[in-house]
Amino acid sequence: MAHSSRPHSHKHAGARLEPVPEAPAIPLHRRIPWTAVVISLLVLIAAALPEEPIRDAITLGPVPEAHLELSAGYLAVAPLSNVLDTLTLLGARQHIVVLLSVIILYALVRVWRARLARRRGGVVHPPMRRALRELGFAGLLLAAIVLAYAAAAVLPRPMAALVTQPNDVILIADFHAHTRYSHDGRPGWDPGDVRAWHRAAGFDAAYISDHRTVEGAELGIVDNPPVAGQGEMILQAIEAGWHGEHVNILGANRFYKGVTTADLRDVDDQALRLASLLPGREPIVIQTFPGRLDSLPLAKGPQTAGIRAIEVIDGAPRGIDQTRILRSRIVHLADSANIAMVAGSDNHGWGYAAPGWTLLIVPGWRGMKTDSLAASIEQSLRGGREATRVAERRIPGELNGGNALELTLTLPIVVWGMFTTLSVDERVIWLVWTWGVVLVWRLTSGWRARRRRRIA
């Protein structure tokens, strides 16, 4: 009887399939979304210590005549709006410290994660691969920083606006804005863009004060509404040099032709003195920043030439720095010389957040045409120290110079300050966005895990 050639094996006859070991359970502390928890705690704890988002730039108290109004669009993306506004309104030194703080925090997190991975027995990559991996992460950080600053500078978005009760007396003005006709203006930033920017920020009137030209201002004036109460008014000024500093002269080439040199670059001292001899029509010369305080002659009353107003807020990063650091000295100078204080956005087309607003008493301004409105504003400023109230966005840090510790702690101070100024609506939206992102992340985590397994 032939035997089958198929070999018989009893080795695996009684073998059983071994169960696949289950993946170890993820510890509870690793399943908690700590970033969302920290943000939520900041939002809720700061609600117990709220601050008004605007304040009087001189007294640092409330501004009873006005409040900050946030549109539905601004609120819908409140976390983005708040972060980009805060970034836009930092001073130059604060920007440097914030960037250094972010880089240091990033380095600490990377070192901590590497040590944690080694303690857990994770895969140890060759040195070259580790170096390339870290370079990749550093590149992502750099890209995130560049993207954040680019978004703050050029991303069109809803703006926070200063609003007063409808009246015919209080006018909100900006005395320092630029167009593309300035050598340092944003390309393509036309007078129409200036008008839209100021309308979105709650201004009733804005002076275009380009360098060495009034072309942008005159083009803006052509499109002014018939009377001020029907829309945003563009008025003319010019930024010129004077004794080595920069000043804005209101109506310099409209009512006071000849007070500058022929190329519109500098103030003509003799022409300014002559123009100031007409009582009640003295040119309004505003000292701007950055610059040296106490370096320019001050007007000594009617029929005298000199500075008649000074910026207590300038919206350029270096101007923000200097006007905050010199705040007490600027106020003392204005008090002693009885000159008006104003805010200037110094907007060159970058950013969508106003640092401050000038409130003036101009009776009947809503029914005024361009030239009569400009003349009335100038007359109000000739009233001196009590002619204006300046409101500013509350951004903590470096007021009156601060100190080394405050500058070093700029990042946590500014972050905390941002959360303390949130409205109730903004806090709700922050919580919705924070936990909405967590929910979406958790819902898509399974899909991402399956995709990684397919790729592997």
- 183 Cβ partners below 8 Å, 6+ apart? 211, 212
What count of residues does the chain have?
Answer: 456
Unique residue bearing structure tokens 């969302």: 36
161-401: CATH class: alpha beta
* Residue 323 clears pLDDT 60, i.e. is over it: yes
Helix (H, G, I), strand (E, B) or coil at 438: helix
Q: Report the range of poorest mean pLDDT among 22-26, 227-231, 290-294, 419-423.
A: 22-26
Domain locations in the chain?
40-53+73-155+407-455, 161-401
What pLDDT does 297 receive?
95
Instruction: Name which residue leads in pLDDT, 442 or 222.
Output: 222
Percent of the chain surpassing pLDDT 70: 89
pLDDT tens per residue across span 290-301: 999 989 999 999
* Residue 289 clears pLDDT 50, i.e. is over it: yes
Q: What is the DSSP string of 224-271?
A: --SSGGGS-EEEEEEEEEETTEEEEEETTTTTSTTSB-TTSSBB-HHH
Instruction: Please compute the mean of the pLDDT values over residues 253-270 and round it to a whole number.
Output: 93
Instruction: Name which residue leads in pLDDT, 455 or 48.
Output: 48
Instruction: Please compute the mean of the pLDDT values over residues 289-315 and round it to a whole number.
Output: 95
The mean of the pLDDT values for the chain is: 91
Q: How confident is the model at residue 401 (pLDDT cuts 50, 70, 90)?
A: low
pLDDT tens per residue across span 85-144: 999 999 999 999 999 999 999 999 999 888 887 777 766 667 788 889 889 999 999 999
* Distances 450 to 123, 131, 384, 447 between C-alpha atoms, Å: 21, 28, 71, 5
Unique residue bearing structure tokens 């018939």: 226
Measured distance CA(97)–CA(407) in Å, rounded: 7
This prediction's pTM: 0.89
Q: How confident is the model at residue 22 (pLDDT cuts 50, 70, 90)?
A: low
Q: At what angle do helices 410-420 and 78-88 cross, to 10 degrees?
A: 130
Q: How confident is the model at residue 343 (pLDDT cuts 50, 70, 90)?
A: very high
What burial class does residue 279 get, using C-beta atoms within 10 Å of its C-beta: 0-12 exposed, 13-18 middle, 19+ buried?
A: exposed
What pLDDT does 18 receive?
56
* Residue 4 clears pLDDT 50, i.e. is over it: no
* Distances 53 to 21, 63, 161, 228, 291 between C-alpha atoms, Å: 57, 10, 11, 27, 28
Helix (H, G, I), strand (E, B) or coil at 221: helix
What pLDDT does 126 receive?
77
DSSP 8-state symbol, 386: G
Measured distance CA(147)–CA(165) in Å, rounded: 38
What pLDDT does 116 receive?
81
pLDDT tens per residue across span 359-372: 999 999 999 999 99
What pLDDT does 456 receive?
58
pLDDT tens per residue across span 273-288: 999 999 999 999 999 9
Please, are residues 370 and 339 in contact by the beta-carbon 8 Å criterion? no
How many other C-beta atoms are found inside a 10 Å radius of the C-beta of residue 263?
A: 9
Please, are residues 239 and 179 in contact by the beta-carbon 8 Å criterion? no
Q: How confident is the model at residue 452 (pLDDT cuts 50, 70, 90)?
A: low
